[in-house]
């Protein structure tokens, strides 16, 4: 019997109240497609060797795949089953905290004012520079455990609190070690261009990134003989008070020549033209987009650059304006959602909470939000070919929600609706 006709399975999820998944043959889900889920009541999902082999109406799955004595049976009676959630934008690794800044903002201070007065990214840089590698790994591991319990199965992680070669490499090394230490799949992003460190002027720092840091990271991480990092992104905070469009272009082009794929923090506080640059450079994603222009929305709609929206950040910063998700989706862009988990502008990691905020503040539908947190987020981190859908051939990353209908996930705002998380077919969290 050939392997493809093998009817043995390692895991069977059955009964399933409802299966809900994006279902797109190739590429990310753009515009209207975002709301078009495959929804199957009384479903089953069959898993072998960490991959999905069948998913759909229970009758048809069970006709082909029967559990044996060795099959793990997962009962999702009355529950909702979706693909594992993908968080395409986090600053997971940092030491210390900035609770003081949160309270200052509650009392009316602005993020950029606090940063200009010595708080912000540089405050976290100081704490992170003085933390050892084992300490960064310990902090990251406990955060990732919490994420697994709220359904995150893949997580992008940026550097950017080191801001010198040695400390940025230590942050990247923490991501590599964490990949081997716990189940959440990590996508590393090198981001020395998160802020200018206080010991440097900006021109010198940009030159240092281009001539020293990027080449060193490429030597150490892209050409690793054990293939430890299969891909590496390069992100720049292109915004008022941070890096200009010209600097961003130079950093991203230098990285691309070495094999690092561009991403851009764009239009969070001001529109400098960062989204146009992201599309021009074929960036995997342009993130934040609170101040994106209509012309740039049209550019995004025609491109493969995913618009990553971060409603937790506008909420946590207590802003009255949010990213124009409706305009983006109605114009045909591919929108993803992320947490932006970080010590300053968004200390929120829960993607079910982000889901709720996306419905409230971005006016997304629950269906669009699921697409944004799965297939489109997977494309934003370059892994859409195997993550973000429940369909044969895809990795068996699955979340079982203790709710009967999709709408209850955003509605349960602030509760954790996750019942169980599976990564590559293994149960990795149960609530």
Q: Tell me which residues touch Fe ion (CB under 5 A).
A: 340
User: By CB under 6 A, how many residues form the interface with ligand NIG?
Assistant: 13
Regarding 343 and contact with ligand NIG (CB under 6 A), the answer is yes
Asked if 109 contacts 120 with a C-beta cutoff of 8 angstroms, the reply is no
Stretch that binds ligand NIG, among 19-27, 181-189, 336-344, 362-370 (CB under 6 A): 336-344
Site for ligand NIG in 308-327 (CB under 6 A): 313
Strand 261-266 versus strand 185-193 pairing type: unpaired
Taking the C-alpha atoms of 178, 180, 185 and 189 in order, what is their torsion angle to the nearest 10 degrees? 50
Stretch that binds ligand NIG, among 120-128, 172-180, 291-299, 328-336 (CB under 6 A): 120-128
Which two three-digit tokens encode residue 160? Answer: 């950017």
Question: Rounded to the nearest whole angstrom, what is the least distance from the CB of residue 156 to ligand NIG in the complex?
Answer: 12
Site for ligand NIG in 244-303 (CB under 6 A): 265, 268
Stretch that binds ligand NIG, among 26-34, 137-145, 329-337, 339-347 (CB under 6 A): 339-347
Which residue number is nearest to Fe ion in terms of Cβ?
340
CA within 13 Å, CB half, 142: 7
Regarding 91 and contact with ligand NIG (CB under 6 A), the answer is yes
Decide which of ligand NIG, Fe ion, none touches 120; Cβ closer than 5 to 8 Å per partner kind.
ligand NIG
Decide which of Fe ion, ligand NIG, none touches 313; Cβ closer than 5 to 8 Å per partner kind.
ligand NIG
List the alpha helices (DSSP H) in 282-403.
294-301, 311-316, 325-331, 351-361, 366-373, 375-380
DSSP bridge pairs for 401:
80, 418
Surface-to-core class of residue 103, CB atoms within 10 Å of its CB (0-12 exposed, 13-18 middle, 19+ buried): exposed
Q: Which residues contact 59 (CB under 8 A, 6 or more apart)?
A: none
Stretch that binds ligand NIG, among 49-57, 117-125, 170-178, 210-218 (CB under 6 A): 117-125
Task: Write 200-203 long-range contacts (CB < 8 A, 24+).
Answer: 202/243, 202/247
Residue from 168, 185, 340, 368 in contact with ligand NIG (CB under 6 A):
340
Give the binding site for ligand NIG (CB under 6 A).
Answer: 91, 120-121, 124, 237, 265, 268, 313, 340, 342-345
């Amino acid at each position: 019997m050939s392997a493809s006709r093998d009817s043995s399975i390692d895991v069977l999820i059955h009964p399933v109240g409802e299966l809900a998944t994006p279902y797109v043959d190739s590429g990310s889900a753009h515009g209207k497609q975002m709301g078009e889920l495959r929804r199957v009541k009384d479903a089953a999902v069959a898993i072998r060797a960490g991959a999905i082999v069948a998913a759909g109406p229970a009758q048809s799955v069970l006709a082909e795949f029967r559990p044996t004595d060795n099959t793990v049976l997962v009962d999702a009676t009355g529950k909702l089953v979706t693909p594992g959630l993908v968080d395409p934008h986090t600053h997971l690794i940092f030491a210390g905290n900035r609770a003081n800044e949160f309270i200052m903002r509650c009392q009316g201070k602005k993020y950029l004012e606090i940063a200009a007065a010595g708080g912000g990214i540089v405050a976290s840089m100081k704490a992170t520079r003085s933390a050892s590698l084992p300490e960064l790994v310990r902090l990251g591991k406990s955060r990732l455990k919490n994420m697994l319990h709220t359904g995150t199965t893949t997580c992008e992680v940026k550097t950017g609190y080191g801001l010198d070669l040695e400390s940025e490499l230590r942050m990247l090394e923490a991501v590599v070690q964490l990949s081997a230490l716990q189940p959440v799949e990590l996508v590393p992003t090198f981001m020395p261009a998160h802020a200018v460190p206080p010991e440097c002027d900006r021109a010198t720092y940009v030159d240092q990134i281009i001539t020293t840091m990027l080449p060193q990271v490429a030597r150490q991480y892209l050409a690793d003989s054990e293939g430890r990092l299969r891909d590496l992104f390069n992100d720049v905070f292109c915004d008022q008070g941070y890096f200009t469009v010209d600097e961003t272009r130079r950093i991203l082009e230098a990285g691309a020549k070495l094999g690092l794929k561009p991403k851009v923090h764009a239009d969070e506080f001001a529109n400098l033209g960062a989204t146009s640059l992201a599309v021009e450079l074929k960036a995997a994603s342009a993130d934040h987009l609170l101040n994106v222009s209509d012309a740039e929305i049209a550019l995004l709609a025609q491109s493969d650059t995913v618009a990553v929206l971060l409603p937790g950040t506008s909420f946590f910063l207590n802003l009255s304006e949010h990213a124009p998700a409706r305009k983006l989706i109605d114009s045909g862009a591919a929108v993803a959602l992320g947490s932006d988990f970080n010590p300053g502008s968004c200390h929120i990691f829960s993607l079910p909470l982000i889901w709720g905020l996306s419905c409230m503040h971005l006016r997304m539908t629950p269906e669009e939000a699921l697409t944004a947190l799965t297939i489109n987020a997977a494309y934003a981190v370059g892994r859409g070919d195997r993550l973000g859908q429940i369909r044969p051939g895809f990795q068996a990353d699955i979340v079982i929600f203790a709710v009967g209908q999709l709408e209850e996930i955003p509605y349960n705002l602030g509760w954790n609706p996750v019942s169980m998380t599976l990564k590559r077919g293994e149960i990795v969290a149960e609530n």
